[in-house]
């Protein structure tokens, strides 16, 4: 019931997306280069996943022995084992991430140096360590107090933590206000058309880091914000194309996609916590430090298993934002030019392999987004 309510979108039922000749729309040379660039990233991702699970499997088998050598108490030892496992995973994945940076630099997708990239991710890594410690502290405390029913309040705590971070995220990214008067007037107009108001639009400076263009909607209720990368407003894209982006991001807020995403997280968290409880029974349950290495493997497996569903849900939300943006701007030509521009600046494959699309694509493909603009235009009455 909850899932069916969350799946409702404003995209017309049975909307037909016609085939798009990607070579004709995006250019044969661009498509060929995008396919080659994307193929490297995909192969590297698969190899990284194989290495990740091999490492976690070994750690799950042997990591528990460190619990017998620690004097930090069960919860303290569990947190240490969790941090050790995360540190090992980070080291094992580092070569693959560096290969991604090398390949992106080679094709002009990033301007960041290797040292700049490495140090730029310390804050993110530190946040991951803190989040892991908090999660383990909560879960182990609940498991030691409540036994095997810890997964019920544990899932609720995880949702509360996720909700908190979703609310404060807009305050964690340094941005500056959007000063373009024409774009600001468009924001006010688009808000009125979509039934919302008072959503700040800011610009995140990514100059010197990447030439790719992006924008995103963050926060909910009082913390709502739309953020444009500086590469969106540096002249690469026309005002009409930037307006299509603004209408799309405002649509995320007018459609309550971020609260809906949290609701989906809650639906996944409950069975996920139950599976974690069941899987760690043989190690004494989540209240025992010896179970933590196995728990890391189980969580990684759950995340991978959930990827197709999460990507599908995200694609539905993004498709709805595209449709509402078309309804708002009534400018399908600008939308088509925008998606072609994304193909050129990001070298994204307009029509990726099916397995990669199902697992990793959280947006409709660029070909599908062009086809939606065409479908919207076909539905408009002849003038």
Query: DSSP assignment of 306-341, as one string?
Result: HHHHHHHHHHHHHHHHHHHHHHHH--HHHHHHHHHH
How far from chain centre, in Å, is Cα 251?
Answer: 17
pLDDT value of residue 330 = 96
pLDDT value of residue 123 = 64
Q: Are 26 and 350 in contact (CB under 8 A)?
A: yes
Nearest to 183 by CA among 240, 234, 224, 227: 240
pLDDT value of residue 73 = 80
Report the pLDDT averaged over residues 260-283: 95
Q: Is the pLDDT of residue 67 over 90?
A: no
User: Would you tell me how many other CB atoms lie within 10 Å of the CB of residue 24?
Assistant: 9
How much is the pTM?
0.93
Better-scored residue on pLDDT, 111 or 315: 315
Tokens coding 327? 């309804």
pLDDT digits (tens, 9 = 90+) for 96-142: 999 999 999 999 888 877 776 766 666 667 777 888 888 899 999 99
pLDDT digits (tens, 9 = 90+) for 199-218: 999 999 998 788 899 999 99
The rounded mean pLDDT for the chain is 91
């Amino acid at each position: 019931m909850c899932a069916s309510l969350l799946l409702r979108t404003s995209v017309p039922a049975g909307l037909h997306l016609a085939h798009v000749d990607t070579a004709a729309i995006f250019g044969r040379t661009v498509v060929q280069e995008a396919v080659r660039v994307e193929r490297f990233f995909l192969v590297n991702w698969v190899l990284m996943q194989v290495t990740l699970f091999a490492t976690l499997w070994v750690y799950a088998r042997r990591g528990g022995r460190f619990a017998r050598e620690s004097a930090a108490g069960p919860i303290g030892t569990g947190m240490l084992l969790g941090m050790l496992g995360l540190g090992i995973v980070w080291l094992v994945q580092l070569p693959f991430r560096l290969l991604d940076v090398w390949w992106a630099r080679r094709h002009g997708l990033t301007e960041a140096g290797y040292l700049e990239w490495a140090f730029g991710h310390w804050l993110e890594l530190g946040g991951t360590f803190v989040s892991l410690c908090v999660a383990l502290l909560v879960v182990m405390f609940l498991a030691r107090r409540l036994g095997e029913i810890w997964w019920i309040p544990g899932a609720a705590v995880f949702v509360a933590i996720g909700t908190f971070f979703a609310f404060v995220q807009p305050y964690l990214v340094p941005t500056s206000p959007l000063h373009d008067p024409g774009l600001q007037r468009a924001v006010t107009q688009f808000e009125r058309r979509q039934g919302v108001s008072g959503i700040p639009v800011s610009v995140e400076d990514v100059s010197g880091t990447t030439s790719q263009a992006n924008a995103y909607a963050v926060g909910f209720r009082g913390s709502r914000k739309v953020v444009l990368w500086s590469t969106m407003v540096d002249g690469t894209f026309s005002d009409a194309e930037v307006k299509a982006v603004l209408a799309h991001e405002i649509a995320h807020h007018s459609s309550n996609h971020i609260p809906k995403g949290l609701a989906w997280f809650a639906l996944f968290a409950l069975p996920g916590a139950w599976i974690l409880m069941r899987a760690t029974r043989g190690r004494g349950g989540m209240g025992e430090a010896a179970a933590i290495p196995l728990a890391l493997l189980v969580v990684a497996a759950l995340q991978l298993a959930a990827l197709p569903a999460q990507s599908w849900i995200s694609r539905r939300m993004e498709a709805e934002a595209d449709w509402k943006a078309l309804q708002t701007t009534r400018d399908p030509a600008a939308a088509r030019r925008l998606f072609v521009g994304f193909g050129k600046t990001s070298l994204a494959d307009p029509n990726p392999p099916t397995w990669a699309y199902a697992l990793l694509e959280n947006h409709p493909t660029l070909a599908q987004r062009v086809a939606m603009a065409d479908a919207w235009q076909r539905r408009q009455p002849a003038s």
